[in-house]
Amino acid sequence: MKKLIAILLVALMAMSLVACGNNGGEAGEATYAIVCKDASNPYMLRMISGFEAACEALGVKSVTKSPESATVDGQITIVNELVAQGVKGIAIAANDAAALEATIQAATAQGIVVVTLDSDTKGSQMFVNQAGVEQVAQVLVDSVYDMAGGEGEFAILSASSTATNQNAWIAAMEEIIAADEKYANLTWVETVYGDDEPQKSTDEAQSLMTKYPNLKVICCPTTVGVLACAQAVQNAGSSIKVAGLGLPSEMKDYVGDDKVCPYMYLWNPIDVGNCAAYMIDALAEGKVGEIGTSFEAKNGTSYEVMAGDPAAKQIIVGPPFAFTGENIAEWAEVY
């Protein structure tokens, strides 16, 4: 045992020598990092490309990291690693509305700017909101109302049950439906979660079809879910219509007046990622003022600072955009 300890000590000394020799290795370049929900989500990949482009324009290095599966546990590990690397800013699409708070606070304490994009969480300095929650909920409710012909059963197939953005939209949809007599004849049968995994989303869509024979519409406020659902409905030859938020390039075969998905909505994820990098820059330079004021980011766009929930502040990138049979082919080329 003594020999073991001796060897250990000698080696430790060797290690500290190496460590001393390495002190000059600090990279001078500023780095912004983007942390996604999981590694394989095509929507996230578009967001990353926008983020990278903006970082290049700003003259900073960019780093992309994603957990192996869409867990907040994996994101905590990643943020800790980024903090340890001394990045200047982190943009994160959170997998949970609360669990990252302590980790983000620790990052902020070390002078790192942390913004959320796509999906918000407590502790974030600013949420780069792809579209206002009410706007998204309103277009989703109206699609369901329209596709169901004003009455009948519909279900929701969402992403993960802890995803902040989807949960906020679903909650807002409930309010809109409850508030207006117009929607009284719609029956919301169930909300299921496909966890943004294609297979699980397909399984959930199939079980909805078997469980509710009178189902008229499935609404999927997530790009992975809407694709899986459209495929499942088409393969089953069902008359159910699919509404929701989808990527044009993935959904081009399913969108159109005579197809499973007459029309769908989304915003440009490239813009969202792009905007997040400019927000980190604006926050780092202290350009962002109090709630109610506006400022101009380096991309030349003016943003209004609004109160965020749960983030401290938020800005909205733009309104949701409708993809129909007429414009889908054109947008499929873009993203």
Is residue 291 a contact point for another protein (CB under 8 A)?
A: no
Count the site residues for another protein by CB under 8 A.
Answer: 47
Q: Which range touches another protein (CB under 8 A), out of 14-22, 239-247, 283-291, 301-309?
A: 14-22
- Minimum distance, C-beta of residue 15 to another protein, in the bound complex (Å): 6
Cβ at position 163, least distance to another protein in Å = 10
Per CB under 8 A, which region of 4-12, 123-131, 213-221, 265-273 contacts another protein?
Answer: 4-12
Which residues have C-beta within 8 Å of that of residue 3, sequence separation ≥ 6?
none
8 vs 329, beta carbon nearer another protein: 8
User: Which amino acid is residue 123, in one-letter code?
Assistant: G
Residues 91-120, interacting with another protein (CB under 8 A) = 96, 98-99, 101-102, 106
Question: CB of 302 within 8 A of CB of 295?
Answer: yes
Contact code string over 182-221 relative to another protein, x by CB under 8 A = ----------xx-x--------------------------
Q: Which of the 8 DSSP states describes residue 130?
A: S
Q: Which is nearer to another protein, 96 or 250 (CB)?
A: 96
CB nearer another protein, residue 4 or residue 179: 4
Parallel, antiparallel, or unpaired: how do β-strands 294-296 and 302-304 relate? antiparallel
Reduced to 3 states (helix: H, G, I; strand: E, B; else coil), residue 83 is: helix
319 CB-near residues (< 8 Å, 6+ apart) = 131, 132, 135, 267
Distance, in Å, from the CA atom of 56 to the CA atom of 60, rounded to the nearest integer, reads 6
Give the bridge partners for 192, in sequence order. 157
List phi, psi (to 5°) of 33: -115, 145
CA 133 to CA 184: how far, in whole Å?
A: 22
* H-helix or E-strand spanning residue 14: helix 2-21
Whether 227 contacts 253, CB under 8 Å = no
**Binding mask of the shown chain, residues 42 to 81, with x at each position contacting another protein by CB under 8 A:** ---------------------x-xxxxx-xxxx-xxx-xx
Task: Provide the binding-site residues for another protein, judged by CB under 8 A.
Answer: 3-4, 7-8, 11-12, 14-15, 18-19, 22-23, 25-27, 39, 63, 65-69, 71-74, 76-78, 80-81, 83-86, 96, 98-99, 101-102, 106, 160-162, 192-193, 195
